[in-house]
Each structure stands twice: as structure tokens, then as C-alpha cells.
Homo-oligomer: A and B are copies of this chain.
Amino acid sequence: MWQMKKNELDLSKVLVEESLFTLGNGYLGIRGSFEEGYGSDEICSNNASYINGLYDRVPISYGEYAYGFPLVQDKQPRIVDTQNCQIYLDGERVNLSNGQHSNYERILDFKAGVSTRKYHYETTIGKSAKISFIRLASLWVKNIFIYKIDVEYDGDIELRCSVCTDIKNSGYISDPRVHAQDVKLLNNIFLKSKANKIHCLMQTLKTKIHQATVIDHRVVSNTPYEINHEIDGQTAITSIKSTQSMSLEKHCYFTDGIRFIDPYDEAVSLSQKYADTPFKEFLSAQADFLAEFWSHSDVKIDSNDDIQTSIRFNIYQLLQSVGPDKYSNISAKGLSGEGYNGHYFWDTEIYVLPFLQMTQPHMARSLLEYRYNTLPFAKNRAMELGHNKGAAYPWRTISGEECSAYFPAGTAQYHINADIAFAFIQYHQFNADYDFLAKMGAEAIIETARIWLEIGNFSNDQFMINSVTGPDEYTAIVNNNYYTNLLAKYHLKFASKLFDEFKTVKTESLKTAFEKLCMRISFTKKEALHMKEASDAMCLPYDKELGIFEQDDSFLKKAMWPFSETDKSHYPLLLHYHPLTIYRHQVIKQADTVLAHFLLEDGIDETSIKASFDYYEKITTHDSSLSACIYGIMASRCGYLEKAYDYFKESINLDIKNTHSNTKDGLHMANCAGAVLSIINGFSGFRISQRGISFRPYLPKNWKSYSFKIKYLNREIEVSVSDNIKFTLLSGEPIPITVWGKSIKLKDQLIFDKKKDIS
């Protein structure tokens, strides 16, 4: 239940397993490659390591360039990979492709925070060895990654660890026409050996950011051993020879020039500071950290299948990927691969943050701080786009600069501004943290809200937002995308009410802080009034005949996609049809209107929500990994319980079963979170709004129970659903909650036999 386990070696799935077994701590991420290699050149492997927030830049080429197109793009570079360690037994290299092995076991342990791997190996002359590996990305000291390799063998043992500084990011194998070539992003400044350590300093090619690595080799052997370091050009090889048994620990220290003035000095200091800290201390610190984490973030499920393990896998991968400071965020693929170049998208705010907001507010806050930290770039970008004021957040980025090379499904997705504001507002709803609001939240919310006044206009008393793209990338550059407009309406309303909001604050210093902010960014009551007017008059396209909200002004007038004539092999459509062919039809890549109704349902009648779901579901291909989870949540909302469970299964298995065939390029972080939301927001129907928190819990068929916790306004509440529905106030003062539409005060515990008890 706390482990993902593989009992068989399958060398045909190396790339996918490397992603699944990635170990990270939000700062560092190292894919699960085999230390000893795979024994064959025919096996494609991406043994890669990453640091969150580190970036180089590569030029973007355009057949036809237009004003405001980004000319360069951030790219998360592979840093020096420390995984490599060949094993020789009596001079014969352990080879998993051709050699004999048995008792294979590989585990990713969510409670211990390590991955392990072990097997018995038989040499060609029939002698047997026991080989085992354990690795850990320290959640205690995030710059540290440790490998431990144990070999027992009645003969000569040699380990040859190598580090190569000639590193390239790999081209996209999936589409040979684009970025087909590997790209070098880092230069070797130096590589040297010192005592049992390898020291290495690298620098990104264009952005000139340093990155340092120190690898400390600690050997435990009952018999005498010999250790040798050798630098050969850009490769350092450390070879350790012994007999009978050997235990090697590689303690690796990683630093970078974004966070440290002298990263090399810092890496050396760290290696000295922790030189005598035994591995077991790291193990126990790891376990402590995770005990605390799971005590708030676990989702317990009692069912007859392996769902419990799967849901923990998804939560664990989120934990491993969330950037720990204002210099980093959570990239679409976490720290597990090079898909999307390591860029951060709206996935953070609309998929990942909701879960963190509920259970790990400090992690949520850290992700928001990154956005605040990059606000100056967003303000510059707004100017570049021709706006007079405001901030336009980039569709995809690492550094904060816009990196989207295809604006119809990039820069045109102005909704990113509302998505980010939505997350700041939600953070405020969960925490009522006026200090954060005054220091960061309000400024980000106001500056992003200004863009709606810049791009929108009044026409026939309605406020229209033209020429944008909504979440659905199968429809581009449209007028009045419902999702965008609904979120903008909410966003503008919140921004316009900030003056009132701060009136209620009692701490004088916070009032002053907000006043100073308004002075500094020239935010006036007049501007707030404009925002209110735009919000009140926001155009929300609605089709009376169908009784549904229209995805945009013209969506329902388009021809239906010829689904019945489309061969299965032609999905995802984007790989088989020209964008114009797709844009011209009623066909949806991912939840759009349906997503809007998940995020904001207040004031929208249930019938329209349900009719919209029914209509759009039929024409959604779910070609994006951001879709299934949202449809699952909304299926729950509409009472389609079987459907909800199907979507949930799709979501929870997306990476584990590689259903989108691209897990090799990295895990799908938004979906990992979406799988969890499918339970919390789906099965339990949790929502938060200005009016408080509410639930509509039910138990999926064949489940015995599920439970989770939510932190809300300094309280922690446990929600537990089995034959009955139980709310327990674990800490904090009594508070009203809404269950199936009825507001009830939660003091210690509330128990309902079933839905009927409540209504």
C-alpha cells in the first residue's frame, strides 16, 4: 500500500520506468536509471538529472516572424548525471541484457522516501552475486542525493562510477521533425578529484548560470579495498576494487547559481558539513519528513484493488516535484523528464495548487511566491504586447519570460492570468492570510486583472473579450471564451473589492501596506469601479435552445467533428489534422466550459451545468492529460457515478499504465493532482468559495471507505466516507460546513448515516 513494486525486469519499458521511478525533492530530480546500465546499446535510456528552476535558453526559429513572438526559449538542462556505476565481478561486467539474473525486485517506497532495487546475478562461469541498490533524494537537505550500492560476491568486485560533463538534452524522439537534435546547454568549467570526492563546476551556455556538484564516495568493505580516481577529458572515473563484499555510498551535493552566489563554494561546504552524517540519519530524517507529510496529505482508501497504492504514487510524485522556493515552480512533467522543456504552465494553479492548498499551505504559498517573484517579467510582457498597464503572465516559462512559440495555443491563452489570480484568491479563502495578500497577493491580482480592461471592450452593454484562446486547444483565437470570461468576471470582481476587503482588516500595518501598494501601482477606486463594471457586464455566451453555456461566441455554429468517420489511429487529432481543420469543428481537446463549472459554480443553475456537461462530453477527445480528471469531478457533480469512476481510473492510471504513451518524456503532474482531486472534489464533492466550504460526499461502488484531511482557516478537518459520512474537527475552533447543500456547524464530529440524513 506504500510501495510501487516491480518483481520483474522488463527492458522494453526502460524509458517509462525511468520516469515512474524518478526520485526528487522539489529541488532535485533524478530519473530512475540503472546504475550498472542495461547491457545493450539497443536499449534507449534517458539517464538524466535536473535542478528545478535552472534554465538555459535556446533560439526559437520562425518561418515567418511577427512582432512580439519570443525569440528565445527557456530550457531545463540536464545536469551532470551521477547515476552511472558499472559493476565488474571477476572482471566480467554485470550485463542485464545478456547475463542471468533472478530474484529481481524494484520498489519505490512512499513512506521511506527511497527507491530500492536488488537481484541475484550469475556470472558466465556460474558464480552468483547479490546486488542491491538504494537511493534517496533528501527531503531534509534538498541539495543532497545519495546512492548506496551493495555487492556480495565470492571473488573480485570492482565498481566503476563515472561522471561525464559532456551532457546534452535529448531531442524529441516522438516527433523527429522538431527539435530532432540533441542540444548542449551546459559547459564544463572544471572537473577534478580531491580525496574521495569528484568536484565539478558547470555553466549554462547562454544564461551563464553556474551549477556545482560534489560527489563523495564512502566505501564500506570487510576486506581491504583500493580506490582510484581518474579524470579523462570530460569524464571522471572512480574505481573501487575489493573482494567478497562491498558497500559503496555516493553522497552527491548539488547547488546552482540562481540560489547561491558561489554555488561551488556552497557545494563544498555542504559536503564538509555532512561528511560524517551517516546514511541512516538521512533515512530517518526522510521517514520523519514523510510521516509528517502523509499525516496531512494522505488519502486513505479501502477497496479490493490496488487503488490505494496508485493514489499514493500520484501524491508522492507531486511532493517530489513541487519547487521549494520562489525560484522554482512545478513543471508540467515535474523533475522526471524533458517533455515541454521543463516549462511551468497553468497546470500549477488549476490542477496542482488546489490539492496543496487543502493540505500543505506552505507548499502552495511557495508556488505563489514564484509567480509573485516573476511579476516584473509579466509586466514587461504586457507592455511588449501593447498594453498600457497590467501584467500578462507567460503561457509557458521557467525564468518568467514568455517561451511559447505558437501563440494561437500559447500567448493567446490569456486565461493564464485569471488562473494565477484564481489561485491567489483561493489561497486567501483557505488561509485568510492578509499579510500575504498585502505583500504579494493583491499586487498580483490587481496587475493581472488590469489586462482584462486592456483586452476587453464594451459592446451593446456587454463586456467582450475578443481574440483569445481558452483551455481547449482544439479551438483557437475566439471571442468570449466562456471559461476565460467567467474567470475574468470573478477575477475582476475580487480585485475591485480589495479596498473593501482591507477595510475589514484590524491590523493597521496591513492597511498601510495595502494603501502603499495602491499608491505604488496607482490603483485607484476609480479603476476598481471600472473593474466592477466590466465584471458585472461580462458576456457569458449562453444557448437558450440547448440550455448550455456556449464555449465561445461561435462554437455551436460550427460543424460537428465527423467522429464516426474518424479512425481510432487518428487520435490524438493534433498529430493527424491541420489546426484549421480542427478549429473549424465542434471538437474539444480538454475540459473547457466543464472546467469553468468546476472552478466556479456559484450562481450558475444546476440544469445548465449538467446540460453543458452532457453536450461537451460527447465532443471531447481527452487528447490532453488535463481532461479526464475534470470530467470525472464534474461527472460526480452531475450524479453520473459510474462515469465518474471510469474517469477516475483513467486519471489514476495515466502514468502508471502509460495510457498516453508519453510517460517516457516525464510524468503528468497536473493529472497526478487531478487523480487526487477526483476523490476530494469528485467523490466527496468538496468546494471552497467566499461563502465557505461544502461537500456532497458519496462512496464509489465496491469501495469500503475513503478518508482525507483538509486544512481550512486554521482548522484541520478529517472527512471519512464509508457506510456513513463522518466529519471530524481535528484541530481549531468550531466552524460551519455545508453538506449536500445544508449548512451545519462542525464542533467535534458530525456523522450522517447517508445522504438522506442531511437533507
Chain A contact residues, CB within 8 Å of chain B: 60-71, 73, 175, 177-178, 384-387, 404-412, 455, 457, 459-460, 464, 466-468, 476-477, 479, 553-554, 557-559, 574-581, 583-584
- A576: nearest residue on chain B (CB-CB)? B67
B62 pairs with A385, CB closer than 8 A = no
A408 pairs with B477, CB closer than 8 A = yes
Tell me the minimal C-beta distance from A557 to chain B in angstroms: 5
Tell me the minimal C-beta distance from A87 to chain B in angstroms: 42
CA distance A616 to B64 in the complex (A): 27
Q: What residues of B have a CB within 8 angstroms of the CB of A409 in the complex?
A: 64
Q: Of B177, B386, B467, which is within 8 A of A71 by CB?
A: B177
- Tell whether A66 pairs with B479 under 8 Å between CB atoms, given A61-B61, A554-B466: no
Tell me the minimal C-beta distance from A592 to chain B in angstroms: 17
Q: What residues of B have a CB within 8 angstroms of the CB of A386 in the complex?
A: 577-578, 581
CA distance A407 to B578 in the complex (A): 10
A459 pairs with B557, CB closer than 8 A = yes
CA distance A177 to B68 in the complex (A): 12
A580 pairs with B385, CB closer than 8 A = yes
| Extra A-B contacts (20), CB below 8 Å, given A67-B575, A477-B583 | A62-B62, A62-B63, A62-B178, A63-B405, A64-B178, A66-B578, A67-B574, A68-B577, A71-B177, A385-B581, A386-B578, A408-B477, A411-B578, A411-B580, A412-B580, A459-B557, A464-B558, A466-B554, A479-B557, A479-B558
Tell me the minimal C-beta distance from A267 to chain B in angstroms: 34
- Tell whether A583 pairs with B467 under 8 Å between CB atoms, given A65-B177, A65-B178, A574-B66: yes
CA distance A65 to B386 in the complex (A): 26
CA distance A670 to B337 in the complex (A): 51
Tell me the minimal C-beta distance from A548 to chain B in angstroms: 16
CA distance A576 to B386 in the complex (A): 8
Tell me the minimal C-beta distance from A575 to chain B in angstroms: 6
15 A–B pairs (Cβ distance < 8 Å), ordered by A:
A60-B63, A63-B73, A63-B404, A63-B406, A65-B178, A66-B406, A66-B574, A67-B577, A68-B580, A407-B579, A408-B408, A411-B580, A467-B583, A477-B477, A553-B553
Tell me the minimal C-beta distance from A526 to chain B in angstroms: 20
B578 pairs with A467, CB closer than 8 A = no
Q: What residues of B have a CB within 8 angstroms of the CB of A575 in the complex?
A: 67
Tell me the minimal C-beta distance from A485 to chain B in angstroms: 14
Q: What residues of B have a CB within 8 angstroms of the CB of A65 in the complex?
A: 175, 177-178
Q: Of B68, B407, B578, B584, which is within 8 A of A466 by CB?
A: B584
B406 pairs with A579, CB closer than 8 A = no
Which 8 pairs from chain A and chain B are nearest by CB? Answer: A63-B405, A61-B61, A68-B578, A457-B559, A64-B406, A60-B63, A386-B581, A467-B584
Q: Which of A464, A553, A557 has the most CB of B within 10 A?
A: A557
Q: What residues of B have a CB within 8 angstroms of the CB of A70 in the complex?
A: 63
A405 pairs with B67, CB closer than 8 A = no
Give the copy number: 2
Q: What residues of B have a CB within 8 angstroms of the CB of A411 in the complex?
A: 578, 580
Q: What residues of B have a CB within 8 angstroms of the CB of A464 in the complex?
A: 557-558
A66 pairs with B405, CB closer than 8 A = no
Q: What residues of B have a CB within 8 angstroms of the CB of A459 in the complex?
A: 557-558
Tell me the minimal C-beta distance from A561 to chain B in angstroms: 11
Tell me the minimal C-beta distance from A747 to chain B in angstroms: 53
CA distance A63 to B58 in the complex (A): 10
B61 pairs with A455, CB closer than 8 A = no
CA distance A177 to B64 in the complex (A): 10
CA distance A455 to B175 in the complex (A): 28
Tell me the minimal C-beta distance from A588 to chain B in angstroms: 15
Tell me the minimal C-beta distance from A555 to chain B in angstroms: 10
Tell me the minimal C-beta distance from A680 to chain B in angstroms: 34
- A70: nearest residue on chain B (CB-CB)? B63
CA distance A406 to B405 in the complex (A): 12
CA distance A629 to B431 in the complex (A): 64
B406 pairs with A554, CB closer than 8 A = no
CA distance A178 to B476 in the complex (A): 25
Tell me the minimal C-beta distance from A652 to chain B in angstroms: 30
CA distance A69 to B581 in the complex (A): 12
Q: What residues of B have a CB within 8 angstroms of the CB of A68 in the complex?
A: 577-581
CA distance A66 to B460 in the complex (A): 37
CA distance A68 to B574 in the complex (A): 10
CA distance A175 to B410 in the complex (A): 24
Q: What residues of B have a CB within 8 angstroms of the CB of A385 in the complex?
A: 578, 580-581
- A381: nearest residue on chain B (CB-CB)? B578
- A462: nearest residue on chain B (CB-CB)? B557
Q: What residues of B have a CB within 8 angstroms of the CB of A574 in the complex?
A: 66-67
CA distance A459 to B386 in the complex (A): 36
Q: What residues of B have a CB within 8 angstroms of the CB of A554 in the complex?
A: 466, 479, 553-554
- A477: nearest residue on chain B (CB-CB)? B477
CA distance A61 to B65 in the complex (A): 11
CA distance A177 to B406 in the complex (A): 17
CA distance A404 to B64 in the complex (A): 8
CA distance A460 to B554 in the complex (A): 13
Q: What residues of B have a CB within 8 angstroms of the CB of A69 in the complex?
A: 578
- A456: nearest residue on chain B (CB-CB)? B559
- A464: nearest residue on chain B (CB-CB)? B557
B578 pairs with A67, CB closer than 8 A = yes
Q: Which of A387, A467, A476, A554 has the most CB of B within 10 A?
A: A467
Tell me the minimal C-beta distance from A227 to chain B in angstroms: 48
B67 pairs with A580, CB closer than 8 A = no
CA distance A574 to B386 in the complex (A): 12
Tell me the minimal C-beta distance from A444 to chain B in angstroms: 22
Q: What residues of B have a CB within 8 angstroms of the CB of A177 in the complex?
A: 65, 71
B405 pairs with A580, CB closer than 8 A = no
Q: What residues of B have a CB within 8 angstroms of the CB of A407 in the complex?
A: 578-580
CA distance A578 to B65 in the complex (A): 11
CA distance A574 to B66 in the complex (A): 7
Q: What residues of B have a CB within 8 angstroms of the CB of A468 in the complex?
A: 580
Q: What residues of B have a CB within 8 angstroms of the CB of A580 in the complex?
A: 68, 385, 407, 411-412, 467-468, 477
Tell me the minimal C-beta distance from A664 to chain B in angstroms: 19
Q: What residues of B have a CB within 8 angstroms of the CB of A62 in the complex?
A: 61-63, 178, 405-406
B579 pairs with A66, CB closer than 8 A = yes
- A412: nearest residue on chain B (CB-CB)? B580
CA distance A68 to B577 in the complex (A): 7
CA distance A61 to B63 in the complex (A): 6
